[in-house]
Amino acid sequence: SVGSAQYLAAEVFRSMAGIEATIIPYKTSADVVRALRAGDVQAIFETIAPIIPHAKAGTMRVLGVTEAQRFPSLPHVPTIAESGLPNYEIAGWNGIAVPARTPREIINKLNADINAAVMQPDIRQKFLDLGVIARGNTPEQMTALLKKDIAWWRGVIEKAKIAKQ
């Protein structure tokens, strides 16, 4: 849908590559995958999890990944930057939030336990199977990342003249 990470990743690509393209918003990953397989669209920007089975079965060809590094489950697929669009990097992430008044000692304990969990090999593999590279950090690093990304995405949205939904 308009405003989704996938839509905005396509918008950034279109802008950086200097190409004309119609970006069609779909409501779900299943809808966009179905549209590509049916030939209704020529290319898609989508999270990796719904694409991996099709790539491995040979029914889709992954041309590039949006992150700065290649994805471990698709090591033969270059990044978009490697493929000729320097500085293109769209990295998705997930975070964990707690109520603002949560005591610092509880936040520190949660952070330590979560970081320890995501570093366990079996947990890391489960995340990879879902199309996620598990990474840990501190609450301060997460806050800084959130602020940076809000400012960056605001600029993307304003440049693309995407109306508030």
Fold of 1-92: D-Maltodextrin-Binding Protein; domain 2 (3.40.190)
Q: What is the pLDDT along the chain (165 residues), one digit of tens a residue?
A: 788 889 999 999 999 999 999 999 999 999 999 999 999 999 999 998 899 899 889 999 999 999 999 998 889 999 999 999 999 999 888 889 999 999 999 999 999 999 999 999 999 999 988 888 888 999 999 999 999 999 999 998 898 888 877
Total-model pTM: 0.83
pLDDT score recorded for residue 81: 97
pLDDT confidence of residue 2 = 81
Mean pLDDT of the chain, nearest integer: 92
**Burial of 55 from C-beta contacts in 10 A (0-12 / 13-18 / 19+):** middle
The owner of tokens 């959130």 is 146
Q: Where in the chain are the domains? A: 1-92, 93-165
Type of residue found at 43: A
Q: What is the pLDDT of residue 89?
A: 94
Tell me the CB-side half-sphere exposure of residue 52, using CA atoms within 13 A. Answer: 13
